[in-house]
Amino acid sequence: MTWVLQTAIGGLSTGAVYALVAMGFSIVYRTMGLVNFAHADVVMIGAYVTVTFFLGARLPFGLSLLAAILVTGALGVAMERVLRPLESRDLNLMLIGTIGFGIVLESVAILIWGSFGTAVPTPIPNLPLRVGGLVVTTYQLLILAVAAVVTALLFWFLDRTKLGTAMQAVAMDRIAATAMGVDVAASNALAFAIGSGMAAVAGALVGPLLYVSPGMGASIGIKGFAAAILGGFGSIPGAIVGGLVFGLIEAFSSGPLSAYSDLITFVVFALAMSVRQTGIFGERTVDRA
Amino acid sequence: MRVARVGPGAPLLLLALLVLPVFLDLYTAHVAVLILLFVIVAIGLSLVMGFGGQVNLAQAAFFGTGAYASAILTTAYGWNPWLAAPVAVLATCLMALVVGLPALRVQSHYLGIVSLGLAVAVANLLTNAGFTGGASGISKIPPLPFPGVDLTDDYNDYYLVLAVLVVLVALARLIAGTTLGRRLKAMRDDTVAAAASGIEIPYYRLLAFLLGGLFAGVAGVLYAHLVRYVSPDTFGLDTMFLLLAMVIIGGQDSIWGAAVGAALLIAARNLLAGLETYQQLAYGALIVATVVFAPRGLAGLAAAARRRLAWPWPSLPIPVPSRGSAVPAAPDPPTPFPTPASAVALRVEEVSKRFRGLTALSQVSLEVPVGEIHGIIGPNGSGKTTLFNVISGVDRPGGGRVRLHGRDVTGRRAYQMSRLGVARTFQNLRLFHRLTVLENVMVALDRDPARAHLRYLVAPWTVLARERRRRERALGLLAEFRLEEVADEPAASLPYGRQRQVEIARALAGRPSLLLLDEPAAGLNAAEQEELKAVVRRIREAGVTVVVIEHNMGLVMSLCERLTVLAHGRVIASGTPAEVAGDARVIEAYLGREARDREAARP
């Protein structure tokens, strides 16, 4: 029993990172109906920029993270701007365009930081805390806390601010939103910026757990996708639940299975899709009919 | 004797490819083999993605499945390579079908994710599993035994792959230019209209994946036995993105484009070794630039340049013997309309349809006798188009029955309704916009069941003969609409009124017994409206029952024999135009209560 709880704690902290990745996918998907295939590589860029400022420039972790959010946010805006002409023409082409951006980002990362990865120390001393019979590390608590704060900010933004409400309006009915004076292009750019900023947070947090390398996007990306779809693509609560589920699955597939985490993710996700295609919370997207 | 004109392009290219090895050293000959193999894989991807419109990010994984399956069967189990090869191709096709299965239900972007997930999962398996040799892969794969020919020699390999490539390119070109390719493209351009033209969408999505798997599987098997070493890196995500770049840059829906893209990128990869990262940067950027500025890739640019330059391609007349007489093949005898088993063409019985909370149709009943022109009118949002969607199988009714010539067809799917003789047009024009006018009509004219595609494998030449007859019939139909001079224009380039005509011609091409026209006069000028009336009457003269939704009252009153009026999803009146026009409920529905009272007060 202790083992189960202990494993679950590890799973939840990884799951929180996947949830952040999934929310980043979802915020763009619910606003424009587009799957951003470059998202996973933005996570990787976020991780690298954080590491560069934190280890290279020796800035405090919080400031390094902020810098990474600004860099990826700008990247998100740039991607949206370049692909904007396709938005009303052909969403499939736009999707392929995001794959192109992903390829570019990976090669740029190799050119700047080299093709081998870096191990990253935790930003705070990683002390084990004993709670009952269980061990929780301070870094796990930090991940959960940061993820919770970011999620709360996202909900606050979407529900309580004028900009956020305008974005929700675009997601519900883009023509009506345009008629009410909402700038759809600006709203899409904002969705890209927010999604990419969240990717940077996910990348910064996951760095010390994994290994920061130009190819890290594929595995994290597919888990983020799977999480977003399992929860119901476009649904923010769905992304959180989906992320935690895949974090737990990964934690419990230990021993000889641990090398196969990508394969297991795919099998679970394919099975879930064949049972309920719209995910746990149902799909949320803009109606393009 | 008929005469076909053959351009010099393909024969010259083949000749160049045949003499090419003379100029190649051992290393470049090896690169040439790789190029030809990737051309095969890329053409497969172009068939799934460019023609079928299905985002497939697992093509490299399919390639790997073929290679690994044959490698494992021959090394671990000692199979003869010639026995292992077909089994490995079959295994790849099965894998492609498994990935394609979600395509039966989900939209294309999900498919992108599912196929990417599979690609990552396969890479994960290949790198870690014992039976795949882990990260170091499988080496010492036996070459293909061939009496008298040493297939460990790169020059001989080149000719073997070239022979296979010629066959596969011929197959791909045949598919691209005839019924199967046209159906795939129609599905890509507009799924709803394709289904309403009789195309069984789920089946064709799977078929697209199967074609991708077939090409990748053949190339994979050849790769395993010619290179004789397989490792996970060759079939990972990097290769997938390279394949995607080949097809996008070359031109998604062009077989030649995919081939040129593959040749360029593989040549660059091998000849600019050491600069991999810059290459990756370049092709990533090229993908973005292509989708934004030249969505049809190099093939599209080449086609545009050729149109502008009007370069006179020399071509050779080649006599083609036609069977029997010198008379051109007679068009198929027109199939008679299904003889009506009852005098009622369409009977809708208490049909209801709800969308979430909204009731779109509630207990709607109507009856249309054979040969009638029946109008359906009603204010906006009264459920007219939903009724058409239910009748044509686009939506399933929540309750009630639909009978066609007395036969219960409730809940049939759109492609089944099309095959039962129901054709329709759409309120917001749904042409296959990247197909030509002629192709639009040919899609609907083509009533072959899906199993007829076996001809591509069994008797490819009969495909061409049938295609020729179909083309003649389509041109005949276009002539009736005076559309023959725009037959080869892309449908989307026509003015609006003509596009409406194309849509009606397309609907008629399937020889329906019941034609549903959804606001056919919208956007037409007075002269065009008169023409429309004449067309609809001619269609009726030919024995087709017509139901038309229309807002233009003048047109409805003079064209229709009987009307059904809908408001808020209910039938509020029906009868002759004169009866309906005087009906108090109709006036109220259109103009409000006051108008009704005023009308009633009039002496």
Q: Model ipTM?
A: 0.90
Chain B residues within 8 A of A269 when measuring between CB atoms: 117
- pLDDT score recorded for residue B373: 93
* Residue that wins the pLDDT comparison between A212 and B314: A212
pLDDT of residue A37 exceeding 50, the answer is yes
Range in B262-276, B503-517, B581-595 the model is least confident about: B581-595
Q: pLDDT tier at A12 (50, 70, 90 boundaries)? A: very high
DSSP annotation of A255 reads G
Classify B54 in phi/psi space as left (phi over 0), alpha (psi -120 to 50) or beta: beta
% of chain B at pLDDT higher than 70: 91
* A212 beta partners: A118
- pLDDT score recorded for residue B106: 66
pLDDT of residue B322 exceeding 60, the answer is no
* Residue that wins the pLDDT comparison between B195 and B106: B195
B102 touches A at CB < 8 Å: yes
Mean pLDDT within A159-167: 85
Cβ within 8 Å, pair A229-B113: yes
pLDDT, tens digit (0-9, with 9 covering 90-100), for B514-572? 999 999 988 888 888 898 999 999 999 888 999 999 888 888 888 999 999 988 889 98
pTM of the model as a whole: 0.89
Distance separating the N- and C-terminal Cα atoms of chain A: 51
Q: What is the mean pLDDT of chain A?
A: 87
B557 touches A at CB < 8 Å: no
Nearest residue to B238 (alpha-carbon basis) of B409, B123, B71, B73? B123
CA distance A207 to chain B (A): 20
Range in A120-129, A202-211, B247-256, B290-299 the model is least confident about: A120-129
Chain A residues within 8 A of B101 when measuring between CB atoms: 274
pLDDT of residue B325 exceeding 50, the answer is no
Cβ within 8 Å, pair B120-A262: yes
Cβ within 8 Å, pair B287-A274: no
B55 touches A at CB < 8 Å: yes
DSSP annotation of A118 reads B
Chain A residues within 8 A of B280 when measuring between CB atoms: 103, 106-107, 110
pLDDT, tens digit (0-9, with 9 covering 90-100), for B425-436? 998 889 998 899
B319 by Cβ neighbours in 10 Å (0-12 / 13-18 / 19+) ranks as exposed
Per-residue burial over B240-264, b = 16 or more CB atoms within 10 Å of its CB, e = otherwise: bbbbbbbbbbbbbbbbbbbbbbbbb
A115 touches B at CB < 8 Å: yes
Mean pLDDT within B252-267: 91
CB contact at 8 A, B242 and B287: no
- pLDDT score recorded for residue B318: 59
Reduced 3-state DSSP string for B121-146: HHHHHHHHCCCCCHHHCECCCCCCCC
A269 touches B at CB < 8 Å: yes
Mean pLDDT within A66-72: 96
DSSP letters for B227-291: H--B-GGGGSHHHHHHHHHHHHHH-TT-HHHHHHHHHHHHHHHHHTTT-HHHHHHHHHHHHHHHH
* B375 beta partners: B548, B563
DSSP letters for B491-514: GGGS-HHHHHHHHHHHHHHT--SE
pLDDT of residue B339 exceeding 70, the answer is no
B287 touches A at CB < 8 Å: yes
Chain A residues within 8 A of B248 when measuring between CB atoms: 96, 100
CB contact at 8 A, B158 and B166: no
pLDDT of residue B336 exceeding 50, the answer is no
pLDDT, tens digit (0-9, with 9 covering 90-100), for B432-467? 988 999 999 999 998 888 888 888 888 888 888 888
- pLDDT score recorded for residue B59: 95
pLDDT of residue A112 exceeding 90, the answer is yes
- pLDDT score recorded for residue B332: 44
Cβ within 8 Å, pair A107-B280: yes
Range in A242-246, B128-132, B190-194 the model is least confident about: B128-132
- pLDDT score recorded for residue B327: 37
- pLDDT score recorded for residue B1: 42
Q: What is the mean pLDDT of chain B?
A: 86
B409 touches A at CB < 8 Å: no
Chain A residues within 8 A of B291 when measuring between CB atoms: 83, 86, 93-94, 96-97, 100
- pLDDT score recorded for residue B4: 53
B355 touches A at CB < 8 Å: no
Q: Report the 10 Å Cβ neighbour count for B160.
A: 18
Mean pLDDT within A195-210: 92
